[in-house]
Amino acid sequence: MTTMNPTVLLTGASSGIGRELAITFAKNGHPLVLIARTELPLRQLATELNQKYGVPVEVFSCDLSTPEAASKVYDFCNDNGLQIDILVNNAGVGDYGLFYEMDLEKQCRMIQLNVMTLTSLTHLFLPAMLVRQRGYVLQVASIASVLPGPWMAVYYATKAYVLHFSEAIANELKGTGVSITCLCPGGTATNFFQEANAGKSAFLKNANLMPAAVVAEFGYKALMSRKTVAIPGWVNYCMVNSVRFFPRNIVTRVSQQLSRPVQ
Ligand SMILES: NC(=O)c1ccc[n+]([C@@H]2O[C@H](COP(=O)([O-])OP(=O)(O)OC[C@H]3O[C@@H](n4cnc5c(N)ncnc54)[C@H](OP(=O)(O)O)[C@@H]3O)[C@@H](O)[C@H]2O)c1
């Protein structure tokens, strides 16, 4: 008798790191449930993965920046008899600008997506994993999670939440058969900066962006080996681990320099 590979629920699967994660999971024989707002790219990806790798792929189009989104996703899985053993909270957005000049509603939707829905999905799917004593959660944070981020203040703060939340729960889950991995990518070549209107950021002008496929492969391996924090790339690794040795005001000033708008 062959045991079916664990089924993956993956948010933000229509582009960037999420799309590459979907490909990586499919290559490794995992059935998938793909979530994002835009249905067409999800359906095209589902067909491609099913034909190429022979894995079943379900699609659910949903705006995860609304308070009821997490329970809609949970109901969709239950209604379709989908047992989720791997939850990947990847969907996330940024927004570039000075906090006091930005649209508050947009910032609140970002918090809803990056923080609230991620928390709710984790809370909804963990109990059944614990009963089965089998499960993996991958939270996509960022290297932004370790420092304050002038020009993207709310985004950086949401990612700090994701890192601290994940590390705390990873500790609570020890010995249960369920683990949480927090992936902290640095600059990655996706639609993220364009969607965040961050084209003028000094960081983007100088960054050596990592291919999304490399980040996804790294995240998959870290998840499967149940690592708690995973930082792809040695420059990112050094940055994340060096900030603790400097005074916070210096770290914030360097962060401001990296994100300031340049022509
Ligand atoms: N790119 C980087 O440099 C970088 C660095 C560190 C961390 N990250 C993190 O990586 C994750 C993935 O981002 P990415 O770089 O791959 O960007 P991306 O290419 O823009 O992908 C974002 C994904 O999230 C989905 N999404 C956005 N808003 C949504 C909503 N309201 N409801 C449901 N799905 C939504 C998008 O699909 P739809 O638009 O179809 O909904 C898309 O599939 C994010 O959490 C981001 O913070 C990115």
Nearest ligand 1 atom, CA 38: 40
Quote the pLDDT of residue 47: 98
Tokens of 77: 């899985």
pLDDT at 262: 94
Query: Considering only CA atoms, which of 202, 105, 188, 223 is closest in space to residue 154?
Result: 105
> Which neighbouring-strand residues pair with 188?
210
Give the C-alpha separation, 58 to 36, whole Å.
12
Q: For 25-41, what is the mean pLDDT?
A: 98
Q: Are 20 and 213 in contact (CB under 8 A)?
A: yes
Q: Which residues line ligand 1 (CB under 6 A)?
A: 12-18, 36-38, 63-65, 90-93, 113, 140, 142, 185, 187-188, 190-192, 195
pLDDT digits (tens, 9 = 90+) for 219-261: 999 999 999 999 999 999 999 999 999 999 999 999 999 999 9
What does the pLDDT look like over 56-82, one tens digit per residue?
Answer: 999 999 999 999 999 999 999 999 999
For residue 149, report the distance from its CA to the centre of ligand 1, in Å. Answer: 18
Q: Of all residues in the chain, what percent carry a pLDDT higher than 70?
A: 99
Alpha helices, DSSP H, located in 4-152:
16-27, 39-53, 69-79, 104-111, 118-132
pTM: 0.98
Residue the block writes with tokens 């981020």: 149
Mutate which of 43, 93, 113, 236 for ligand 1 pocket (most atoms within 8 A of beta carbon): 93
Q: Which whole number is the average pLDDT over 140-147?
A: 98
* Alpha-carbon separation of residue 166 from 137, 179, 182, 190 (angstroms): 9, 10, 6, 24
Mean pLDDT of 142-171: 98
User: To the nearest whole percent, how much of the chain has pLDDT over 90?
Assistant: 96
* Residue 132 dihedral angles phi and psi, to the nearest 5°: -80, -10
Q: What is the pLDDT of residue 205?
A: 85
**Partners of 87 in the β-ladder:** 9, 137
pLDDT at 263: 80
Domain ranges within the chain, ordered by starting residue: 7-259
Domain 7-259: which topology? Answer: Rossmann fold (3.40.50)
Residue having the nearest C-alpha atom to atom 47 of ligand 1: 92
At 207 the pLDDT is 82
